[in-house]
Structure 1
Amino acid sequence: MVALNLYVYETTGRAIALGLFMAVRLGSGFVAGLAAGTLLARFTAKAVMLWTNAAQAAVMVLLILAPDGLRKAALMAVSLVVGGCGTLFMVALRSSIPEMVGEERRGWANSLSITGRSLAMVAGFASAGVVVSLVGYTAAFGVDMATFVLCAVTVALLPITGGGGADRGAAAEGRPARRRTPVAFAALAAAPGLGLMVALRGVDAFGSSSHNAALPVYSAGLDASRPAVFVSAFWCLWALGNVAAQQVIQRYAKRTGRSVGALGFGVGTIVMSGAFILAFAGFPLVATRAVALVAGAADGLTEVSYTSHLQTLSAGVRGHAFGLSATFENLGFGVGMVLVAAALDRYSPLTVVGWSHGAAILVALAFLLRLAVLRKGTRPRRGPGFSQS
């Protein structure tokens, strides 16, 4: 994304093109989230993950080979395909993890996956500037294409025997294969409080848009001559905190045989949002570094707990629930980027981030209250929505 954003600006010469590029990518991801459940009901998760990577590799080849007159069109194609296929891949991966490793190891697998992704993000952000500066955009896009090919090969080797095909299974049992779009909402209704959990995820994405947009502004205010220093250091520390949290979560899962659940998601969201607000409060750099570590650790906790909890849903509705969740996340982040960008012209980064993440804290408190009521009312039994896992 570093190379692509720089390339978009260099090719078009207009900052508004960056906004359009992001809008197309998020819009494509939004639509893909709505369609993900239906695709996973028709095709296996393995097939979806394989072909989404193949499509992303192909569109990178298109960008590399595009002549000067077609580069803008190629960039829009990249934005469209990467946004949609990236969402479909993540939905398919998250929904199929229980089939790959077993229900009892899903928390460990989620944590391991997030650890790898955090480390890859650090490596990608750290190397992007060097690759582009030394060998150019074509080489950077070639590396990107190679990662999609490698991912497709890895997917081909994954031990996924199930996933998808829910409608075909229904037909085999003599039941009508219908209820396409409402299945996701039926999944939320089947698990008490899950709708509020998905809504909190969308509000959390809205808050994330605020600190992503505000970090460059805040960093420029700290050191106008080297604005990238603070941003890079902040995200590296955030990633380290995330990785550290995953190590703790993995050890917890191995020792107890349980995964962090809905409670961890609610508490983690509050801690994470509070940490991001404090990051813009003007504390000394040492304190801000500590805040970045806490934000990363809490972010890692929320990611694992949320993903693990949605994986407790039955296979027939799990893909739909993850797809609807991705739709809410893309919607929250996209709307947030528009509103936050406008607000930063008038208000300080602390004010904008405070309001955005403050909304997430309020919804998280409502979620925890709802969770307490549900647990108190269903203490003798374990329902499908908020089990102890």
Structure 2
Amino acid sequence: MTGKRITTPSSRSSPLSRPLPTSEERRRARRFNGFAAAYAVSVYGNYLSLIALSLFSYAVTGSALGLGLLMALRLSAGMVAGGVAGGLAGRRDRRTMMVVSDLGQAAVMLVLAGTGEGAPVALVGAVVVVLGVGNASFNVALRTAVPVMAGHDQRVRANGLLVTARSFATVLGFASAAPIIAVGGYRVAFAVNALSFLVSAGALLVLRPRTNPEKPEVPGPGDPADPGAPARERRSAGGGGPKARTESGEGRRREARQLAVLRTLPVLLLAMVALRGADALGSSSHNVALPVAANLARPDSPAVLMAQFWAAWAIGSVLAHQLTTRLARRSEHLLGERAFALGTCVMSVSFIVAFTGLPTPALVCVAMVAGLADGFTDIAYTSRLQTLPDERRGRVFGLSVSAETTGFALGTLAAAAALEALPTLAVVGIFHGAALCGALTFLVFLAARSPGGDAQLVGHEPEMDAPDGRIVPDEAGPGRAAGAATPPPEPGTGPSGTTPGDAISRPPHTDPGGADAAPGGAGPAGRRR
């Protein structure tokens, strides 16, 4: 009975009745916190390099067209790498993927730091390709691994911690780029970025967080528990083919299963990914328009206005972490698809209002609300997709990264062109208006599809992460009434000490909206994951 958690309505209603974390959970939390700190350092270097590399690329190419082509090359590389990394994240060690991504990016930045202003355009092009591929691969592996690294029931807190780290690192990277380049030049900025990647890789190698679930033992051919034994015996009686043919057949079946993942994705999941891409499209507009608006509002000190805006946005992201953590403690149903869409609506409206010429105090408040909504949607979206089974999660996040990169790339180019003819408010209004319309359409789609609650994200046999990271089926089965107590397990049942009581303590991965009861029934509004 050691380590089992039985969640009842009374334990959910009182924070004091929650079970204390085990020693393994405390170690896992410490490792993740240490990794999150190193991740913040890596993000800081990324955004420092984003400014430095843009200015450096313009200096090397000597034209805005050359700068635009290099930016498009980097984004295109990330878009392609997202889909490839999604497949790898389901089959390879994710910690290794993140370490290799960090080391590859560190290597090219060191080369660029050593070359300096004399770097040829071809070298800069190779560097931006490696950066695009490495950043996309790292993000896919990390998002896929969070439920294993932090624990499935702690993934909302973990995602909030990563969003907080990324927000502050983004602001600090943007703010420190100008003085670092002014004092040390591009070489120092690139060296700092390379060092940040090495810090992230070092943390992964030292802390060694678990990033892949432990797969259950597969019964051998002679094991009576092997469900494929009778079929194999029949094939053996009829004469087996050569070993090479068998291996080739298994490879073809594996590839067919991988391709079938995307074909079987439900409309709801694809709609969420599409809305996330529209969100990125809208976000590109305010990133491009903000420097223009700051120069028009404060010609003498545009950097001060931008610093105030992004600092307030970062504070809002921190508040989003606090908000989502509190909501998850009450019920993760509150962080479902509807919450994601509503957060997107609030975020788009806030960014549009921010460009209406508000006085500084009002602008700071609106930017804080925008940051709160931005962080909330990020955490809700990522946490919802992380309810997918482990073997599908990587490919879905690969698809998501590709959609986000595509939306941001197209939006950046289109917004920059639109600003040549339209005011900043009109450009931001058009792009964020498109995201707002997409979110409203998604809400209508949800209301028509599942009037009683968030629709089920994926239909498959319920699975969940065991405390040791293995994937085990939910033996209690779906359709259980909300707040149902754990049935006492029969003696000797459950794989490796896992009983139906272990599985009932968290809802199955198939219920991202918290409605795993039969259609029309009440979902488990208060169960922990």
Could you tell me the TM-score, scaled by structure 1's length? Answer: 0.91
Kindly provide the amino acid, as one letter, of the partner of residue 89 in structure 1. F
The alignment status of 1:384 with 2:510, answered yes or no, reads yes
CA contact (8 A) 1:44 1:164 kept: no
- What is the correspondence of 1:1-389 to structure 2 with a 5 Å cutoff? 1-66=50-115, 69-156=118-205, 157-160=207-210, 162=212, 176-179=253-256, 182-186=259-263, 188-189=265-266, 193-254=268-329, 260-376=335-451, 381=479, 384=510, 386-388=512-514
SS across alignment from 2:335 = coil
Checking the alignment, whether the CA contact within 8 Å between 2:97 and 2:137 is kept in structure 1 is yes
Q: Aligned in 2, Cα 1:184/1:139: closer, same or farther, shift over 3 Å?
A: farther
Letter in 1 for 2:382: T
Q: CA deviation at 1:12?
A: 2.9
Give the partner amino acid of 1:356: F
CA contact (8 A) 1:44 1:165 kept: no
Amino acid across the alignment from 1:384: T
**Aligned-pair CA distance for 1:247:** 2.0
Q: Matches of 2:451 and 2:290 in 1, distance apart?
A: 41
Q: String of CA shifts for 1:223-246, please: whole Å, max 9, x gaps.
A: 223332222221121111111221
| Counterparts of 1:230 and 1:9, CA distance in 2 | 25
Q: Partners of 2:353 and 2:331 in 1: how far apart?
A: 33
Choose 90-99 or 366-375, whichever is displaced more.
366-375
Alpha carbons 1:40, 1:165 under 8 Å: kept:
no
Q: Give the Cα separation in 1 of the matches to 2:313 and 2:211.
A: 36
Contact 1:37 1:184 in 2 (8 A): no
CA distance in 2, matches of 1:385, 1:199: 20
CA distance in 2, matches of 1:37, 1:274: 32
Q: Which has the higher helix share?
A: 1
Q: Count residues with an aligned counterpart.
A: 383
What's the CA shift string for 1:292-332, capped at 9, x where partnerless? 00000000000000000000111111000000011111111
Q: Distance in 1 between matches of 2:127 and 2:257?
A: 28
Aligned-pair CA distance for 1:178: 1.4
Which of 338-347 and 256-265 deviates more?
A: 256-265
- For 1:161 and 1:343, how far apart are their aligned partners in 2? 43
Q: Does the CA-based 8 Å contact 1:265-1:302 persist in structure 2?
A: yes
* In 2, Cα distance between equivalents of 1:42 and 1:244: 36
How many angstroms does 1:368 deviate by? 1.5
Q: Which has the higher contact order (CA 8 A, sep 6+)?
A: 1
Report the Cα distance in structure 1 between the residues aligned to 2:80 and 2:371, rounded to whole angstroms: 29
CA contact (8 A) 2:168 2:314 kept: yes
Do the aligned partners of residues 208 and 303 (structure 1) sit closer, same or farther apart at CA in structure 2, a change above 3 Å counting? same
Distance 1:369 1:44, change over 3 A: same
Deviation per CA, 1:9-47, whole angstroms, max 9, x where unpaired? 233332222212211111011101121222223311111
Distance across 2 between alignment mates of 1:28 and 1:165: 32
Whole-Å separation in 2 of the counterparts to 1:274 and 1:210: 13
| TM-superposition CA deviations, 1:342-377 (whole Å, max 9, x none) | 111111111111111111111101111222333336
Residue type at the aligned position of 1:93: L
> Structure 2: how far apart are the matches of 1:121 and 1:230?
16
Deviating more after overlay: 225-234 vs 200-209: 225-234
Instruction: After TM superposition, give the deviation of residue 255 of structure 1 in Å.
Output: 5.6
Amino acid at match of 1:363: G
SS in 1 for 2:450: helix
CA distance in 2 between counterparts of 1:227 and 1:64 reads 29
Q: Which amino acid aligns with 1:387?
A: G
Native 8 Å contact 1:107 1:258 kept in 2:
no
Contact residue 146 and residue 211 of structure 2 kept, 8 A: no
Which residue of the partner structure matches residue 11 of structure 2? none
| Whole-angstrom CA distance in 2 between matches of 1:158 and 1:93 | 13
Contact 1:253 1:259 in 2 (8 A): yes
Residues 40 and 164, structure 1, Cα contact 8 Å, conserved in 2:
no
More displaced stretch, 126-135 vs 354-363? 126-135
What is the rounded CA distance, in whole Å, between the counterparts of 1:73 and 1:237 in structure 2?
39
C-alpha distance in 2 between matches for 1:4 and 1:289: 29
- Structure 2 regions of 5+ residues with no counterpart? 1-49, 229-249, 456-477, 480-507, 515-528
The answer to whether the Cα contact below 8 Å between 2:389 and 2:509 also exists between their aligned partners in 1 is no
Query: Of the two, which has the highest radius of gyration?
Result: 2
| Counterpart-to-counterpart distance in 2, 1:383 and 1:70 | 49
Residue 376 of structure 1 aligns to a residue whose secondary structure is: coil
Q: 1:369 to 1:67 in 2, by over 3 A?
A: closer
* Amino acid corresponding to residue 179 of structure 1 in structure 2: A
